[in-house]
Structures are given as C-alpha cells and as structure tokens.
Amino acid sequence: MSLGSGWSGKRVLVTGAGGFIGSHLTEALVRRGAHVRAFLHYNSRSDWGLLSLAPSDVRAEIDARFGELTDPWSVDAAVQGCEAVFHLGALIAIPYSYVAPASYVDVNITGTLNVLQAARARGVTRVIHTSTSETYGTARYTPIDEEHPLQGQSPYSASKIAADKIVESFWRSFETPVAIVRPFNTYGPRQSARAVIPTIAAQALAGLPKLKLGSLDPIRDLLYVEDTVEGFLAAGAADACLGTVTNLGTGTGISIGDLARKILHIAGRPDMPIDTDPDRVRPENSEVFELVCDATKALERCGWRAKISLDEGLERTVDSIRQSLALYRPATYTV
C-alpha cells in the first residue's frame, strides 16, 4: 500500500478516539473511506471528548462504542469484527503520573494487554500501537533513532515502555501483526491546555499580564498533528513496519523558551514577560532535557516524512485557539 492509502472499506477500531491525536486520526480514516469504530472512555454524558469537535458529516459516519480499556470484555466487544486496530487509548499527562502512578499501570499496561489479547483472539490483521518519545528519556545522543536506550524518567514513560515491550512480546511470541509508532511531541488544533503550546497561546491570547511556564531549557522536536496522523496511516499500511518501532519526528529541536517567544510573537504579545512557576517544573531527575528525532526508518519503511513547518503549524494552532479560547482556562495550571 502507498503512503496513507489502502484504508478505504477497511473496518478499523481506534482506541482513544476522543483524545487529541485519536480524534484527528479517526477523522482522517473516515475521510479515506474506512468504516471506523471509535472506542471512547465511558462517561454518563455520552461525551465524545475531542471527537465532538470533528465536522458533523464525519461524526455521522462513526460507530461510537463506550467502555474501559481496563475491562477485557468491553475491549473484546469493541475489537470484534474489525480488521485493524489503532491503539491510542492511554493516560498521557506526565504531571498527573506523579500523583496517580497506579492508574497509569492499569490503563497503559493492562489496557494494552487487553487490546492485544482481543486482537489475537479476533484475528485482527494489523495492530498499530502508540508509543511516545518520552520512553527515550533525556537523549544520550541526538538525533534519537529507534536503537536509543529506553529510560523510565516518569511513571508515565515507564508505563509506556512496559506497554511497548508487551506489544513486542506478542509479535515474538504469537506473531501478532503489530507495529509500534513512536511520535515525538505532537501539537495542533484540539490539543488540551495540558500541553505546552496551548498553555502558552491561551495565556497570551487571554491577555494575562505574565506567561507562567515550567523549565524553559528542555528541547523538543515538534510534529504537527496532520503529519503525525499521516505517519500512523503510512506505518499502519506498511508491512515493513511490522514487529518494530518507527519514530515520527522532524529532526529539528527548539527550546521551550524559544518556542514561547515564537508563539508570543504570533499571538501579538512579543513583550509578554515569562515567569518560571515552580509548580510546573518537573522533578530534576524526571525532566527530559532533549528530544530530537531521527525518522530515517519512517522514510525507508513507509515513505513518510514531516511536511508542515513549525512556523506554519504554530500559525494554524494559535489561530485555532484564538477561535476557541472559551474552551481553555488560561489562568489555571492544568495537570
């Protein structure tokens, strides 16, 4: 299959479809003609999360199922009848993993095991599992390729390392057709204030007197969500990605301080003072200081490379936040 193609007519399940990347991926699959089932975290309001922000014509084509990743029966019911599973469901907030680490073990590790068991039992032909660049920890060398050592520098990253290894074990033990996609820091419209770019933009656009951030020194490789989604689709369609990890990133890093100044300029607040808020600073040994991607294997295996420049992506993102500022609480630190 060619880059991002081959999904028309496929029966596809997306776990975590109500999340940031998951909602964009679900929308992209619908637009490519896939029959998409969205597995959403149960709530009494039948709230679709960020997927509710997708266009109405897209939502009308989605088979929404509510359940719990930690419940093997609801996961199995969601997987039944699907040919492919994109597994994005997870707890992802690093600060909250310091507060409630056991929940990260339950959702990220046991939840992934439940998806794999169901996929194996139901004869799914492709499982695309979501990893994270946080599994690498602070870089021992850059750019970071897939052979870089894994380092659990937060309960979140440790849970994702364990989940990745369980996925790998199903490939080796049972020949379950799995591909592990490891995106670096994704950003774009619909991202919550938990992430740094919406945090900066929302504070600036709301007219707050000072910008409050954590450490300004860490360096990140920022990948626009449209590129991330294309990477998932390409890796999911490529046999060469089976049984292995594939990085997604741009190969270029920027410090949080320089990123903040760039966003403030786009938001029309270039002179906004920046304060370091101690509550937003990670514990010293848990901070990941540099993440810059080597995505050579993504190009070789499935023809993927990032296309959206940081400047273009930030312009789109800031404009989106400007139009939906009421969804944010700029004066409140979101863990």
Q: Can you identify the CATH homologous superfamily of domain 11-187+223-250+293-307?
A: NAD(P)-binding Rossmann-like Domain (3.40.50.720)
65, 77 contact by CB (below 8 A):
yes
Mean pLDDT for 265-289 is: 89
Measured CA to CA, the distance from residue 91 to residue 188 in angstroms comes to 19
pTM confidence score: 0.94
Across the chain, how many H-helices and E-strands are there?
Answer: 12, 13
So what's the pLDDT on residue 2? 42
Rounded CA-CA distance 256/213 in Å is 9
pLDDT digits (tens, 9 = 90+) for 25-58: 999 999 999 999 999 999 999 999 999 999 999 9
The CATH number, out of the four listed (3.40.50.280, 1.10.490.10, 3.40.50.1110, 3.90.25.10), of the domain defined by the range 196-217+254-290+311-327: 3.90.25.10
- Tokens of residue 47, six digits: 């709230």
Residue 305 to residue 228: CA distance in whole angstroms: 10
pLDDT-wise least confident of 73-82, 235-244, 280-289, 300-309 = 280-289
Element (H, E) at 23: helix 20-31
306-319 mean pLDDT: 98
pLDDT at 197 exceeding the cut of 70: yes
SS3 96: helix
Q: pLDDT-based confidence at 331, cuts 50/70/90?
A: confident
The answer to whether the CB of 220 falls within 8 A of the CB of 291 is yes
Distance CA 103, CA 89 (A): 13
> What is the Cα 12 distance to its own chain's centre?
18
Q: Which two tokens stand for residue 206?
A: 């709301």
Output the pLDDT for position 5: 62
Helix (H) or strand (E) holding 220: strand 219-220
Alpha helices in 12-110 (DSSP H): 20-31, 56-59, 72-79, 94-99, 101-104
Q: Is 179's pLDDT higher than 80?
A: yes
Domain boundaries, the chain: 11-187+223-250+293-307, 196-217+254-290+311-327
Tell me how far apart the alpha carbons of residues 314 and 197 are, in angstroms, rounded to a whole number. Answer: 8
Q: Which of 50, 65, 80, 72 is nearest to 15 (CA)?
A: 65
Please report which confidence band the pLDDT of residue 326 belongs to, taking 50, 70 and 90 as the band edges.
Answer: confident
Backbone angles phi, psi at 49, to 5 degrees: 65, -140
Kind of pairing between the strands at 222-224 and 185-187? parallel
Q: What is the pLDDT of residues 254-264, one digit of tens each?
A: 999 999 999 99
Contact, 217 vs 256, CB < 8 A? yes
Q: Are 189 and 316 in contact (CB under 8 A)?
A: yes
